[in-house]
Structure 1
Amino acid sequence: MNELMSTDSDLLTRAAGVRLLILDVDGVLTDGRLFFDDDGKESKAFHVRDGYGIKLVQELAIEVAIVTARYSPAVAHRAHDLGVKRIHQGCLDKSLAYTELKIALDLDDAEVAYMGDDLIDLPILTRVGLATAPADAHPEVGCRVHWQSVQRGGRGAVRELCELILQAQGHWPAVISRAVGALS
């Protein structure tokens, strides 16, 4: 998308080393809009394809974590549905959660991918081995990542990233073969 983004070879090398995928929520797993009913109860819309992508990478022993500045019961519920156990909500300093995850999983920066969409995500995006953003990320984020999806946040951006990782790690043919075999 711009000259600061990685070459295809560099991008695939970065994605091939991913062992932990960390995702922001608002603007990444959702389209960034917040819905409140008359009682102040919040609801969010998550894309089913993003969820399936998360399940696919988890099946291949890639840990998935959520790190978000806001707290929402809907996020906890969706994470539970997807089997995501590492959830950090209410993180005004996302770097702290990032460091805790790396220590807990004994990982280096190069083994971590992160998808974020706004300025609050830059401290992590500038450290990880694979920094990514949805198509509609803030321009200051988009120009600092290794890769930006074609899809917007909450509209399949996470699925795109999961497929990139699966392809780089050589798992994509097996995913397709399994899907085609299920149709037979």
Structure 2
Amino acid sequence: MYLADLPADILARAARIKVAVFDVDGTLTDGRLWFGEDGHETKVFHVHDGLGLKQLQANGVQVAIISARISHPVAVRAEELDIAHVYQGQSDKRACLVELLDALQLAPDQAAFVGDDLPDLPPMNIAGLAVAVANAHPWVAEKAHWQTSRSGGMGAAREVCDLILFAQGKSDAERERWQ
């Protein structure tokens, strides 16, 4: 993925982002639900995505999670990544995003929403940057401003983070930080 080759309108949208909001199942994970014999749920998160989320936060972009499901592993991962805005059990993700934007005193064009399936369409429709992961349902992909090359749970969130940092002129400083 060559970020400099992206269309100017995508880079302009990403440059305005103050909060990046992610769905979980199918976006931060591969979408499969794993249950043990005891009924406890397990999820797998990609370490690259986690570092990208931390990089956004370190560069002044807030991170949020909005999920329709309630999952203890999501709460644990969010705490580990210092994500303060975690909304689980949200049947109306658009309303949740609107409440979050109101609380943060941000306009919709300052939000990115990253999703993969139909419940993600309402918040994507108001977000300034709507992103579908590579394995998103086709109806979601066609409504997105941009689609990642990687699938959910396989580095897609990191691509979004890299896009935002690049568009905001912060990726070179991030690269230098690690050398």
Q: Same fold (TM over 0.5)?
A: yes
For residue 47 of structure 2, what is the amino acid of its counterpart?
V
For residue 35 of structure 1, what is the amino acid of its counterpart?
W
* CA deviation map 1:3-24 (0-9, x unaligned): xxxx710000000000000000
Q: CA deviation at 1:63?
A: 0.7
Q: CA deviation at 1:105?
A: 0.2
- Which residue of structure 2 lines up, in the alignment, with residue 75 of structure 1? 74
* CA deviation map 1:97-135 (0-9, x unaligned): 111101100010110001010000100111110000110
- Which residue of structure 2 lines up, in the alignment, with residue 134 of structure 1? 133
For residue 119 of structure 2, what is the amino acid of its counterpart?
I
Distance 2:166 2:84 in 1: 24
Structure 2 unaligned regions, length at least 5: 1-5
2:16 is equivalent to residue 17 of structure 1: yes
Q: CA deviation at 1:95?
A: 1.4
Runs of 4+ more than 2 Å apart: none
Identity %: 48
- Secondary structure at the counterpart of residue 143 of structure 1: helix
The TM-score, its normalising length taken from structure 1, stands at 0.93
Q: CA deviation at 1:60?
A: 0.9
- Secondary structure at the counterpart of residue 55 of structure 1: helix
- Secondary structure at the counterpart of residue 113 of structure 2: strand
Structure 1 unaligned regions, length at least 5: 1-6
Across the aligned residues of Structure 1 and Structure 2, the Cα RMSD in angstroms comes to: 0.7
* CA deviation map 1:116-159 (0-9, x unaligned): 10000100111110000110000000011011000000000000
The TM-score, its normalising length taken from structure 2, stands at 0.96
Aligned residues: 174
Q: CA deviation at 1:58?
A: 0.2
- Secondary structure at the counterpart of residue 54 of structure 2: helix
